[in-house]
Amino acid sequence: MSLQSEVDIRDVSVRFGNVQVLEKLNLKIAPSEFIVLLGPSGCGKSTLLNAIAGLLDVSDGQMWIGGRNVTWEEPKDRGIAMVFQSYALYPRMSVKKNMSFGLEVAGTPRAEIEARVAEAAQMLKLTPLLERKPAALSGGQRQRVAIGRALVRKVGVYLFDEPLSNLDAQLRAELRVEIKRLHARLGATMIYVTHDQIEALTLADRIAVMQGGVIQQLAAPKDIYRRPVNRFVASFVGSPAMNFIAGRVEAGLFFHAGDYRIPLAGYAFAGAPAAGAATLGIRPEHVLAGHEAGPDAIAAKVEMVEPMGADTLIWSRLPDGASLSIRHAADAAVREGDTLPVSFPADALSVFDDTPAGARL
């Protein structure tokens, strides 16, 4: 099992009647890469996946998989396999039959089918369940069968359409690890659609954050998290969400909001720093609070404290009224009504301009 294909999406547009879902989208995926398409519902990520699978005709552009132009080929001829959110198992067939049926219809030799099913079953720990019907399986087992049905096709690209969304939190975490292990073992190209940022951050080699049918940022999880290219990416990725403070960038490299100033010395501007209206973003865990805050600290008023076990989330308000969430050590002796000194390290900040898109400065 060492097929790997590259996927090259060239200027692909998808329209439903007058509604333009994807417009001139380009995405090049390297062989054996794990790409996650991340975005809120309606952002076009599932549409893109269905277009790659060939379940949806593109209105424009070309789709290349494994060096072949497959724009107008049937899904079965594209060298892809797909796993669906609702499992989409054939309910009246046994687990074994679910995996083997497609191969049987395609005329694969019986011995070959047996071997592939046995291998996939062993990989997914399905061997004791082979004779069961899907109705007699738990959600996690059903999704493993669906993954098995994709594996036996032995293709270069595996597509996942929100495969874990129907599972409870614990199973989701388990299966997430299993998918990651599977990717390491197969080395196949995988394209994975989700709206769950944890799945995206844990699984992906690169994440494509989508909104409005456009890829906003395509980068490694760490870069997406640390250096979001615009306000949408910054606010969509990360939980609890990034704090935003409205203000102005001043020529002396200060960020001025209300009657306090935040030094920006050490911030890596994308271009030449220009003065003007801007938004400052900082993640809750990057805020320095209490005695860590240093001499130039700003006094934040604590409004609520949420102990979360491993750490504590503090909801506070800055002097100008902007709200600020702070992730703090679990043993912090902070109470509602306290005044907490906070400061913002420049290298952990993100500064966005005040255009509607909010591009990173």
Partner 1 sequence: MASPRMSSRASAYSALLPAFIVLAVVYIGSTVWTMWMSLTGSRMLPNNNFVGLRNYEILFSNDRWITSVHNLAFFGVLFVAISLALGFLLAVAIDQKVRSEDSWRSVYLYPYSMSFVVTGLVWQWLLNPTLGIQKLVRDMGFETFTFDWIAHAETVLYCLVIAGVWHAAGLVMAIMLAGLRGVDEDIWKAARVDGLPTWRVYASVVTPMLGASFATAGVLLSTSVVRLYDLSVAMTRGGPGIASEVPAKFVMDHLFERANISLATAAATSMLITVIAVVAPYMYWRTRVAARGRA
Residue numbers at the binding site for partner 1 (CB under 8 A): 50, 53-55, 74-77, 80-82, 84-93, 101-102, 105-106, 146, 149, 153
Give me the phi and psi of 41, to 5 degrees please. Answer: -65, 145
Nearer to partner 1, 21 or 53 (CB): 53
Tokens at 168, concatenated: 């409870």
Shortest Å, Cβ 77 to partner 1: 8
Q: What b/e readout covers 202-213, taking b as 16+ CB neighbours within 10 angstroms?
A: ebbebbbbbbeb
E strand intervals along the chain: 7-16, 19-29, 34-38, 60-65, 68-69, 80-83, 157-161, 189-194, 206-211, 214-219, 243-250, 254-257, 260-263, 276-282, 288-289, 298-307, 311-317, 323-329, 339-343, 350-353
Given the complex with partner 1, which of 106 and 359 has the nearer CB atom? 106
Which CB atom, from 55 or from 171, has the smaller least distance to partner 1?
55
**Closest distance between partner 1 and the C-beta of residue 156, in Å?**
14
Q: How far apart are CB 142 and partner 1 at their closest, in Å?
A: 12
Give the angle subtended at the CA of 9 by the CAs of 55 and 32, to the nearest 5°: 90
109 or 295: whose CB is closer to partner 1?
109
Q: Which is nearer to partner 1, 163 or 238 (CB)?
A: 163
In terms of CB distance, is 74 or 259 closer to partner 1? Answer: 74
Q: How far is the CB of 340 from partner 1 (least distance, A)?
A: 50
**Residue 44 CB, nearest approach to partner 1 (Å):** 17
CB of 270 to partner 1, least distance (A): 41
| Cα distances (angstroms) measured from residue 198 to each of 32, 169, 175 | 21, 11, 13
Contacts of 48 (CB under 8 A, 6+ apart): 9, 12, 14, 22, 25, 27, 37, 193, 210
Angstrom distance (rounded) from CA 101 to CA 132? 15
List the structure tokens of 300.
């934040």
Task: Kindly tell me which of 100 and 325 has the beta carbon lying closer to partner 1.
Answer: 100
* Shortest distance (Å) from residue 78 CB to partner 1: 9
Nearest Cα to Cα of residue 218 among 10, 354, 28: 28
